[in-house]
Structure 1
Amino acid sequence: MKSKKELSNKVISFVLPLVVLMVMFSIVKVFPFGNNSITINDANNQYIAILTYFRENILHPQNLLFSYKLNLGGQFFSVLTYYLLSPINLISLLFPINKIPLFFELNTVFNACLTSLLTYVFLSKSKYTRQSNNGINVVFSLCFSLSSYFFLYNHCEMWFNVIAFFPLLMLFLEELLDGKSGWKFGILYTVMLLMNYYITFMITVFIAISYFIWILSVKDKKYIFNRTKVLAITGITSFLLGSISIIPSYLCQKMVKDQATLQINLHRIYHIKDLFNNLFFNIDSAKGQIIGNSGIAFNHYPHVYMSFVITFILVSFFFSKLINKKEKILTGILLGILFLFTWNQTLYFIWHGFTAPHGYPQRGTFIVDFVLVIISSNYAKHFNVKKENIKIPILVTLLLIVLNFVSVHNISNLIINMLLLIVAAALLSVKNGKYTGWLLPIVMLDIIFSNVAVFNKLSNQSTNLAAFTKSYNTMKPVTDEINKSDKSFYRIGTADEMNPNDPLLYDFNGLSNYVSQQPTQLINFMSTVGYFQRTNPVYRWSSYNNGSTLAMDSLMGTKYYIGNNRTYAKNVIASDNELRSISSLQNGISIVGESKDINDFKVYKNKCSLPLAFPVDKSAVEKIDFPGLPNNNPFKYQNKVFEKLFGVKDLYSYLNLSNEKVSQVSNAYMYKTSRSGIVYMYLPEKMMAKLPELTLYVNDRKLGNINSNYYTLNNGEGKNSKNGIVALGKFRKDEVINIKLVHRGHDVKILAPIVAVEDEKLVDKLSTDVQKSNVKINKVRGNAINIETTKDFDSNYLMLTIPYDKGWDVTVNGKKQSPKVLISTFMGIKLNKGINKITLHYEVPGVKTSGMLFILGTLIVCISIIRKKKR
């Protein structure tokens, strides 16, 4: 009978999050109750495309080591280890790509259900929370699985794939410290390290904290030594086995230079009062969740609200006469340490992998939530034995509610929190927990109403399922037809970008991407030469953004350019609220290239496009500083690039500003061309500045919008449709160019545009010379490239337009050679003139070392098993 009841509780704990989420989905119109989804923010602009690339290349493992779909090319292995190693991602193979957001919904719901089930398993088996009535633990399991942290961060599936197993790991840790074998802890810890080393690192910090608290509670020093030895050996072995992903990922992350580094200081992350405010119901979904026009802005304190029941029990615990003094002291020490790790900047950085998180603060809050749930379950156990006097906890909680009201000034919050206090106190004050069963519906309602506002706002800004399907079905045939008709290596640029990871989603070699592992040097290069403006110092992405100049696009191997399609653009706007570029502005390739219509898109072919590898001058080894600042002159840096690579001088000539007129609604500028060619404009900005929406006119002809606002859509142009460089058209020498930028603000400060004319004939000649340079590219496949030069090859350096990476092994005529860094960004090879056979093979940096450590860990496991059998 007892086993049936226990099985029933497990089933209920698994199903309850599904029930609650279905109710919330119906309220906020998430599928199957509408076309909204749960793919928002980074799920929109990263995870969908990354997962799509993974499932399309699962049978081509070489493409999971190095990918040409990551900007100009980059290591994919660290992306794989951070985002994709959970086995549940294999289920995505059952979903067509145009329905892939539905997989994320399935993944998220499953994570919540599994988290609830495994939390219940912990609470029902742990010696700290075991009780005769495990029905109450069903309530606490639901609280943990559907916390405010979950509703804010649930779209980060790769975290929750690991968080779900966290309670089970802590149960196995408890068994290990209680004298049992550590093999269950070791296996699960290893699996979690492999699934997502980042979240598991935070859990590792908590394990160290828990171990410290355990030492304080045990008196037998010999026993402590014995268990410490077992824990240390198990942990080290697990790390050795998990190093296969940890070490290469760490080495890759070192290339991201814009991350804040660890500093020893006493700076705080947030005000302490904000933490207490977040312990109560808030009708606007917690004070830290600020809902604005552009989405959710996160304050930097932990979002710990799970339900009012948890808050009230937490207060009651420390005033209870049923809890012994030592237990209160140890619990207080644990909470104090966790508080410091969320509050002090140094400890906060340590907890987040020795760096500051970008965009998603307090990522370890789930650990705090788990501890609060354990405290609640532990105290509820005493309620089942003896009636507790809770007058003081009621008064203290009431005082905190009043302080909360003084801070947030919301009368609705005050009334609801008072009612919740009355209900919680009444249900918990009855002897033997007679009415605690009523806690479940109360908690369910609390979870729904305390999170529905933020969930509704996020779902309204999520990927629209119907629009995503339509957008994908419109664009994919275009890139497929280009790839089918041209088997050489080339890159594609697009006017319409759903997000920077379109190359991963649509399977084409592009010039943009957005992943946390993208090297800062590459971002700086892309921004400096005009592909986009890095107006924020912590940008992790780079965008093609309607292109740079004809010459720079050609240098980067952009052979095809897909022009704007109004219908597609409107679909994209409806399907993705993290747009980087939807542009009606001209591109240098579209001014000179031939075009044909594919699926209502105009596809332009660039006759000046350069191949992946070509000879360059020896001056290419000289360094160029690419600062990536938005107020730099990109034409100046492009002149430097072409001079160092080819000895070409003054590819771009600047036009002098002859007249400027500023009014309340527009800025007008007059220039005169110094020679014939394509004229480009770059609008400089100051770092962290935000340009208003601007309509661009050239000689009284409207060219399009710059920095279009999502809420003032104009013929399918979406937000973020600004351009680093804008092509104004072809002009003859001495022709007058009037540029007018119309805006709506009265206090708009716009820096004068930098305008330059490109020597198109020089670009054409440069392209012709390179095409005749006697370099043949035989193979470009994943992590392998084969190149030959003929007997007429007359240069000492070969450059490949892929970023320099230490992982490339280069062999020239059978001899190994170290690759060179050219113009501070690209990979170069020093050659002798004449015939050369060059092979390049990419090996993920650190993979050999981690492989050896993995073998060592495996040997330790084998030796351990053999010793146990002998015993």
Structure 2
Amino acid sequence: MLIINYYMGWMIAIFVTAYMIIFGIAKALPVQTGSYGKVFFRWLKASLLSGVLSAWLLIPTFFSLLTSKTNYSKNEFRVRFEYNPLDMLGKFINGSFDFKQLPSGTANIFVASVVIILFLYYYFSPTINWRFKIANFGLTAFFVLSMCFQPLDLFWHGMQLPVWYPYRFSFIFSFWMILTAFETFKDISAHNIRWRNFIASMTIILIGMLYIGLKMKKFEYLRAGNYVWGWIYLLLSIGLIIFYGLYRQHKLLSAALAVLMVGEMSLNFVNSLNNISYLNNTDYTKFAGITRSLTDKINQNDKSFYRTGQTFSRTKNDALTANFNGGSIFSSTLESATSNFAGNIGQPNGDAYILYSNGTMFTDSLLSMKYWLNERPVTVKTNQKTMPQFLSTLTSKPDLSKYELLSQTKQTNTYRNPYALPLGFVSPKQPLKTTAVPNSPIAYQNQLAKQLDPKIGDLFKPAAYTDVSYHNIYPVLDLNNAVLRKKNMMEQSYITMKVPIEKNTSYYMTMGPNISNTQLSVLVNGNSLVQFRPAKKTVVANIATGGTANDTITVKLYANANDVWLQNVKFYKLNDQKIARFSQDLKQSPYKISNWNNHQFTGTVHVKAAKQSLTTTIPYSKLARKN
């Protein structure tokens, strides 16, 4: 298991260790007492051997985690309970799960009612050895405490709390309950049910069900219908177990118990999936079909290595869905250096994700964004019904008009970027060394461009805006970092300005991370500027691109709150000729890839002068090797 899945292997190792220690102390291991020393020695030897045999994978994984999740995980060690342990009881009702439980919530420990009944009766059965009961209760208490006590929760997850879906070790507790219930079932088969003890255990279960009913409003994930079904399955399970205790030799009762458990587990499966069905099957399959057909067509015509960008998105892992090399990702093992770089160049990023939604012509070129997929507005109507729109707009990107339109469908456009650089290229003299510029992705991009091509100078220059007018807003001296304050809180409030657009020039606006869509809306020539929020750092938005003649656009900033901070709001421009020259200079000595897979690239590069460097846009890792 350590090789197949180190995460689950770690959790199973904790379980086995806790079992050996607790059952060993209680002298409840299923061996002769005098053999305990030998058993512990064999267990330690087997554990060490497992670690050694899997070290070839575990050691690199450990160092990889040091450069990824451990750098940004918020794992403050606090001696506290994360919630009331009694709140776990709600998860024993079928369908006790919803979308809110994914990022946070209580542990998912659902098992069938038959298992719950037998599990609890284990502690009341007079025919089960008291040492086994003490050991079993000790391990159960350790599990329960782990699922609500923060230090133990942190320990189970390798001192790194997970990104979404908390208490991932809860499957072991469910296994433990099933295993204990099976021991009880064997005990009943051999010694019958002691009815007084059975009634005592049933009383506790019924009290628990009543507690869940009283707390229904608190358990938002729990529906009344599912609670009723919980009672139905519980009463049926109690009845069948009673009949089994009376007629143990009847094989039909064993089959009935199995059918009842399968039915309840199936109902839980269906209800749980329905509760998190924020996306239906049709939306997913349609999106996947559209994007896969587009990328397959590109791959058929271009066998080289390149990246593909999107102006629409379903998730941050669309590249996995459609099998292409993209610029976005969501992964709890994302290396922090990669995420930080994306944030420094103005892309929305976070602790476990990058969303390449705000590329400039420079970053599109640098990062080999050779192809772009763009959604088209769906306006066709059939039988008075508008066709469904499966492609959610992610970002506004006027720069696409500078790229070559390769193909069109009813729903999409595919563009080719003529300025896209290869994955690697020869750059001047020293290796690339840049320092992130706080709150200024444009300055950082200028810095990158000048180091790669010293002759190019500054790619981006400040852009002017004129004719600023205020509607229900107190005037400000400068837009950058100004605070927009409404005069009348009940009236619509906005600023209008003109931005002169030079021909063959792209225009961008930066916005700080504290600007949300609920606070500020941006309209360009009456059209909403679509942008992803939130972001960890300042982002770059493409607001316009000049054609063959000079033009002027109207930009409106709508204040949706009483006070809106225009954090890092600045305008910049980039001339097409400069990006063309930059691309041409760095394409002179490309890294020609002859073969690649998920682990390595193989290729050649022609270095024409001394003291030159091979620069690649492969995400940096200390574990990567260069031959």
Q: Normalising by the residue count of structure 1, what TM-score does the alignment of the two structures yield?
A: 0.59
Check conservation: 2:422, 2:591, Cα contact below 8 A: no
Taking a change above 3 Å as real, the CA distance of residues 446 and 479 of structure 1, as seen in their structure-2 partners, is closer
Aligned equivalent of 1:779: 594
> Secondary structure of 1:678's partner?
strand
State yes or no: 1:511 paired with 2:327: yes
Check conservation: 1:657, 1:670, Cα contact below 8 A: yes
Check conservation: 1:490, 1:559, Cα contact below 8 A: yes
Aligned equivalent of 1:554: 365
In structure 1, what residue type is equivalent to 2:245?
N
Check conservation: 1:398, 1:418, Cα contact below 8 A: no
> Secondary structure of 1:303's partner?
coil
Check conservation: 2:595, 2:603, Cα contact below 8 A: yes
Taking a change above 3 Å as real, the CA distance of residues 460 and 552 of structure 1, as seen in their structure-2 partners, is closer
Instruction: Give, in whole Å, the separation in 2 of the partners of 1:472 and 1:429.
Output: 51
* Offset of residue 678 of structure 1: 1.2
* Offset of residue 206 of structure 1: 0.5
Taking a change above 3 Å as real, the CA distance of residues 499 and 401 of structure 1, as seen in their structure-2 partners, is closer
In structure 2, what residue type is equivalent to 1:328?
K
Larger relative contact order, structure 1 or 2 (CA cutoff 8 Å, min sep 6):
1
Structure 1 regions of 5+ residues with no counterpart?
Answer: 1-191, 710-722, 811-839, 841-871
> Secondary structure of 1:249's partner?
helix
> Secondary structure of 1:682's partner?
strand
> Secondary structure of 2:195's partner?
coil
State yes or no: 1:456 paired with 2:282: no
* Offset of residue 359 of structure 1: 0.9
> Secondary structure of 2:276's partner?
helix
In structure 2, what residue type is equivalent to 1:766?
F
* Offset of residue 371 of structure 1: 1.3
Instruction: Give, in whole Å, the separation in 2 of the partners of 1:424 and 1:544.
Output: 53
Aligned equivalent of 1:148: none
Give % identity.
20
Q: Matches of residues 484-633 of structure 1 in structure 2 within 5 Å?
A: 484-530=300-346, 532-534=347-349, 537-538=350-351, 540-545=352-357, 547-566=358-377, 574=390, 582-583=393-394, 585-588=396-399, 590-599=400-409, 601-617=412-428, 621-625=432-436, 632-633=439-440
In structure 1, what residue type is equivalent to 2:112?
S
Instruction: Give, in whole Å, the separation in 1 of the partners of 2:373 and 2:458.
Output: 29
* Offset of residue 525 of structure 1: 1.2
Q: 2:85 aligns with which of 272, 286, 292?
A: 272
Q: 1:214 aligns with which of 17, 23, 26?
A: 23
Aligned Cα root-mean-square deviation (Å) = 3.9
Instruction: Give, in whole Å, the separation in 2 of the partners of 1:444 and 1:330.
Output: 29
* Offset of residue 372 of structure 1: 1.2
User: How far does the alpha carbon of each residue in 1:685-716 deviate from its partner, in whole angstroms, 9 at most, with x for none?
Assistant: 32xx752498753234x26644599xxxxxxx
Aligned equivalent of 1:353: 158
> Secondary structure of 1:697's partner?
strand
Check conservation: 1:478, 1:598, Cα contact below 8 A: no
Check conservation: 1:383, 1:428, Cα contact below 8 A: no
Q: Matches of residues 749-788 of structure 1 in structure 2 within 5 Å?
A: 749=564, 751=566, 753-772=569-588, 774=589, 777=592, 779-782=594-597, 783-788=600-605
> Secondary structure of 1:335's partner?
helix
> Secondary structure of 1:408's partner?
coil
* Offset of residue 484 of structure 1: 4.3
State yes or no: 1:650 paired with 2:455: no
In structure 1, what residue type is equivalent to 2:406?
K
Q: 1:329 aligns with which of 114, 126, 134?
A: 134
Structure 2 regions of 5+ residues with no counterpart?
Answer: 218-222, 381-385, 474-485
Aligned equivalent of 2:12: 203
Instruction: Give, in whole Å, the separation in 2 of the partners of 1:654 and 1:271.
Output: 55
* Offset of residue 304 of structure 1: 1.7
* Offset of residue 587 of structure 1: 4.1
Aligned equivalent of 1:260: 73
Aligned equivalent of 1:229: 41
Instruction: Give, in whole Å, the separation in 2 of the partners of 1:512 and 1:614.
Output: 23
Aligned equivalent of 1:51: none
Instruction: Give, in whole Å, the separation in 1 of the partners of 2:338 and 2:619.
Output: 7
State yes or no: 1:638 paired with 2:465: no
Check conservation: 2:432, 2:615, Cα contact below 8 A: no
Check conservation: 1:498, 1:572, Cα contact below 8 A: no
Taking a change above 3 Å as real, the CA distance of residues 401 and 504 of structure 1, as seen in their structure-2 partners, is closer
Deviating more after overlay: 225-234 vs 260-269: 260-269
User: How far does the alpha carbon of each residue in 1:86-119 deviate from its partner, in whole angstroms, 9 at most, with x for none?
Assistant: xxxxxxxxxxxxxxxxxxxxxxxxxxxxxxxxxx
Q: 2:295 aligns with which of 479, 484, 492?
A: 479
Instruction: Give, in whole Å, the separation in 1 of the partners of 2:289 and 2:160.
Output: 40
> Secondary structure of 2:165's partner?
coil
User: How far does the alpha carbon of each residue in 1:623-682 deviate from its partner, in whole angstroms, 9 at most, with x for none?
Assistant: 42377xxxx332232223223333344322234666354685564442544966211123
* Offset of residue 456 of structure 1: 1.7
Instruction: Give, in whole Å, the separation in 2 of the partners of 1:411 and 1:457.
Output: 13
Check conservation: 1:320, 1:388, Cα contact below 8 A: no
In structure 1, what residue type is equivalent to 2:66?
K
> Secondary structure of 1:758's partner?
strand
Instruction: Give, in whole Å, the separation in 2 of the partners of 1:238 and 1:217.
Output: 26
Check conservation: 2:64, 2:623, Cα contact below 8 A: no
Check conservation: 1:613, 1:801, Cα contact below 8 A: yes
> Secondary structure of 2:161's partner?
coil
Taking a change above 3 Å as real, the CA distance of residues 786 and 394 of structure 1, as seen in their structure-2 partners, is closer
Aligned equivalent of 1:738: 554
- Considering fraction of residues, name the structure with more helix: 1
Check conservation: 1:266, 1:344, Cα contact below 8 A: yes
Aligned equivalent of 1:679: 507
Instruction: Give, in whole Å, the separation in 2 of the partners of 1:441 and 1:612.
Output: 57
Taking a change above 3 Å as real, the CA distance of residues 651 and 231 of structure 1, as seen in their structure-2 partners, is same
Aligned equivalent of 2:477: none
Q: Matches of residues 382-401 of structure 1 in structure 2 within 5 Å?
A: 382-384=187-189, 385-386=191-192, 387-389=194-196, 390-401=198-209
